[in-house]
Amino acid sequence: MDITNKARIHWACRRGMRELDIAIMPFFEHDFDALDDQDKQRFIRLLECDDPDLFNWLMNHGQPDDGEMRQIITLIQTRNKARVPLAM
């Protein structure tokens, strides 16, 4: 998938699993454009992974073996956490 084809990437972000949509869509909407090309490519590679794997990784129930996938997962988690204030 081409990193400049935002409509296709947006479509690939829609997973059909609420937890994944909540984690992936805000990152795409708020952070994707600011990523360098290498991180954009990592994000696209991540979208090619199976939903159960994505769910486990994003919910901290495991890590991908691939270091680049761990890097983009950490980036997604960090950016999403910074965007959502904790309830008190």
| Domains annotated on the chain, with CATH | 6-82 (1.10.150.250)
CB atoms within 10 A of CB 4: 9
How far apart, in whole angstroms, are the C-alpha atoms of residue 23 and residue 75?
11
Instruction: Name the 3-class secondary structure at 12.
Output: helix
Q: What is the pLDDT of residues 5-55, one digit of tens each?
A: 999 999 999 998 999 999 999 999 999 999 999 999 999 999 999 999 999
pTM, to two decimals: 0.88
**Neighbouring residues of 73: CB distance < 8 A, sequence distance ≥ 6:** 46, 57, 58, 63, 64
How far apart, in whole angstroms, are the C-alpha atoms of residue 49 and residue 59?
15
How far apart, in whole angstroms, are the C-alpha atoms of residue 26 and residue 80?
7
